[in-house]
Structure 1
Amino acid sequence: MSDVEVEIKVIGSLNEVEAADWDACACPETGAGGAPIDPFTTHRFLLALENSGSVGQGTGWQPQYLLAQANGLLIAVAPLYLKSNSQGEYIFDHNWAHAYENAGGCYYPKLQIAVPFTPVTGRRLLVRPDFEETGQAALIQGAVQLAANNELSSLHITFCTEEEMRAGSQMGLMARASQQFHWINKGYTSFDDFLMSLSSRKRKNIRKEREKANSFGGEVLSLTGEQIKPEHWDAFWQFYQDTGARKWGTPYLTRQFFDLVQDTMRDDVVLYLAERDGVPVAGALNFIGRDALFGRYWGCTEDHPCLHFELCYYRAIDEAIGRGLSRVEAGAQGEHKLARGYLPVTTHSLHWVGDAGFADAIARYLVAEREAVEQDIEVLTDYGPFKRSQVKEQE
């Protein structure tokens, strides 16, 4: 449908577009019922960020949602933001910003197509079925034109799919490779079944860690949907604040965000809380996709050996096996995940820089970086915990 005339529009709030229209582009797979592939580009998740004040004025993430319409039909959308910093992105461009500004330019503000504070691969160019080629092209051209017309330094599309990376590259955007650690379900029937795929030493180590973690003097609750009560979110908010203060200086999300998640997304989450003497001392929050479990936030008020590994990694594996999900994505970075059965995978992003000379320098850098990422993944996979036969299968 490349001959369709497309109109591009920018809106400052998702309250200006109907949830059904947005989701027809963002998660058309839910039209017949069931969970979205991932919940992070749904109208309800992005609106929760907006309505809670987690994005918007003063946050560094100013919504500029991109809409593409054809003959009055919304055919494509993108979660686009005007960024005044590089916080909450997880694809780091701080060095680019320093170099750009040292050369006399203004790197900020920039444009970013992303899910704020969410290092999860997924569709970023959200296109209604049957409009894929037209919709993707319209969104990319529209975003680049918006950046150029406003003399902004750059446009970034982060944690996009491999297919989007290839499409964007063909349209002249620069592709960047990074890595994360994911757990892959090879049809395991139980956690013990998964352990049997590991080398003897790694298997014993995980069993020891789980035993140590679960001897913290309390119990671990697994909560979802209506099981999650306001007091559970109150406890988790304390954990999140502590982790956010240590990692980022200030937490990205507001307290109201978690209330809105409970109101509109409670069936999309599973919350693990470790309680000792009836008092929560640690917790981990996961979002549930159609085929994956997404580990997002962790925190604690008491330190207990290996409890972080138990709540964030091992309980997530148990959950994925029990739900028949194909993988667990446990967030950005963390080579310590390797020993716990999470293997490195490639993640993708796309970039446009208005200054031709600076763009050329970045393009040369990205070639070398991509080669280094590929080599790193190969080496790390070889050092993984799996039996040699299992490693060969995963390759």
Structure 2
Amino acid sequence: MTTSKNALTNNFSYLLHSNINHSEITLNASSPFHNPLFLQALEQQACVGANSGWQPHHIELPDHQLLFPSYLKSHSYGEYVFDWAWADAYQRYGLQYYPKLVTMQPFTPIGGQKHFGNALTDSAVSQLTDSVVDICQQQSLSSWHCNFIEQSFAEQLQSNGMMTRHGVQFEWHNQGYASFEDYVSRFTSRKRKTTNKERRVAISSVDEIVWRTGEDIDYQALEAFYLCYQTTYMKRGQKGYLSFGFFQQLAKQMGDNMLLVTAEKDQKIVASALFFFNQDNLYGRYWGCLQELDMLHFELCFYQGIEFAIAKGMQRFNPGTQGEHKLYRGFEPVTTYSSHYVARSDFSAAIKDFCLEEQRQIAQYAEQCKKLLPYKIQA
């Protein structure tokens, strides 16, 4: 390993052979995506690199035994912390916003740790911010973005001059529910009836809904899922970011952290949803269908996930980013955090003001969202 103050490496796979202590990385991972195998599969299956617009450019701090998976970006797709307006402002002034540097798990808007190695001491975070400034200056990068991080890390970065952005996601929290019926019993009568009707409509439209984990996610089921996944993107005139090889590799290496829910009709998989999980948390990630069946998206992506989380005693279910329709099904608003550095001081001042105003708007939005939740008002 290099001993320079900071270094960049373009291959995440080397972590598995470096002298960073990774023996407990998987055990202590904040999510299944905070796992060398997940990031390695993205690289090995060319979901990043090549012409993807995500060039591996990982930040290493040898003095602190830390590695931050990072990427040079030539666009802002697949990040879910939207900075298109910033890029447009640069363009209006005849400046280049891309490339920029992003620290996150690609295509994965999930909060949690964004580093491997030792704890994030104040000294380490100070060196990280110094390194980011140096890297942006040396490589003529417009900015650095560290997305979907823990609040404590955002506060450390802000203490070192970084700007903080807030966002909102919607999460389900387990209040010790014994069953799905126990869960919806906490709803108001009208919303409970609506939810139960949605489920009846969806379930009656197919012959069977199946859960698969581990070795049960076989080639045929994964192939059917991938067809659903790409078909749904094609309906919008797009192509899914992720390859079949990527999902194959994950099923082989991380299958025990994956849940594939399929809806089957006439002995054929017509819709599917892929989740990841660890002991306490479930994450909804990818959905697709061959037939548009009423309410089936809600059943597979939300209600089946809640049933699985209750059955396994999980505490939290993050079904994916965006979507106010999640509120009506009991997913509560939670604040997300990201940190940003903009190299040009003339733009940085304006963007800082924007971030502060955005934080106020996000706080108001979250309070408004709470009013749409289906739960009975507690006395």
TM-score calculated relative to the size of structure 1:
0.91
Residue number among 1, 6, 9 corresponding to 2:7 in the alignment? 9
Residue number among 226, 230, 233 corresponding to 1:237 in the alignment? 226
Change (3 A) 1:285 1:94: same
Identical pairs, percent? 36
How far residue 21 of structure 1 moved from its aligned partner, in angstroms, is 5.4
1:1-395 alignment, distance < 5 Å = 7-18=5-16, 24=22, 28=25, 30=27, 36-70=29-63, 75-129=65-119, 132-246=121-235, 249-389=238-378
The root-mean-square deviation of aligned C-alpha atoms, in Å, is 1.9
Letter matched to residue 79 of structure 1: P
Separation in 2 of the partners of 1:354 and 1:100? 12
Separation in 2 of the partners of 1:248 and 1:111? 28
Separation in 1 of the partners of 2:66 and 2:98? 27
Separation in 1 of the partners of 2:345 and 2:364? 29
Change (3 A) 1:198 1:153: same
Q: Is the 8 A contact 2:15 2:36 kept in 1?
A: no
Separation in 2 of the partners of 1:370 and 1:256? 39
Separation in 1 of the partners of 2:188 and 2:156? 40
Change (3 A) 1:140 1:147: same
Separation in 1 of the partners of 2:241 and 2:58? 20
Letter matched to residue 292 of structure 1: N
Q: Is the 8 A contact 1:37 1:290 kept in 2?
A: no
Separation in 2 of the partners of 1:311 and 1:144? 44
Separation in 2 of the partners of 1:118 and 1:38? 11
Letter matched to residue 35 of structure 2: T
Q: State the Cα deviation string for residues 182-203 of structure 1 (Å, max 9, x = none).
A: 1111111111111111111111
Q: Is the 8 A contact 1:8 1:142 kept in 2?
A: yes
TM-score calculated relative to the size of structure 2:
0.95
Q: State the Cα deviation string for residues 214-258 of structure 1 (Å, max 9, x = none).
A: 001310110000011101111111111123334572211111101
Q: Which runs of 5+ in 2 are unaligned?
A: none
| Count, aligned residues | 377
Separation in 2 of the partners of 1:43 and 1:66? 15
Change (3 A) 1:137 1:29: farther
Letter matched to residue 299 of structure 1: G
Q: Is the 8 A contact 1:75 1:135 kept in 2?
A: no
Q: State the Cα deviation string for residues 260-310 of structure 1 (Å, max 9, x = none).
A: 111211111000011111100000000002321000000000111111001
SS in 1 for 2:338: strand
SS in 1 for 2:62: strand
Q: State the Cα deviation string for residues 47-89 of structure 1 (Å, max 9, x = none).
A: 001101100010010001122213xxx7211110000000101
Q: Which runs of 5+ in 1 are unaligned?
A: none
Letter matched to residue 68 of structure 1: L
Q: Is the 8 A contact 2:281 2:314 kept in 1?
A: yes
Change (3 A) 1:246 1:172: farther
Separation in 2 of the partners of 1:343 and 1:194? 14
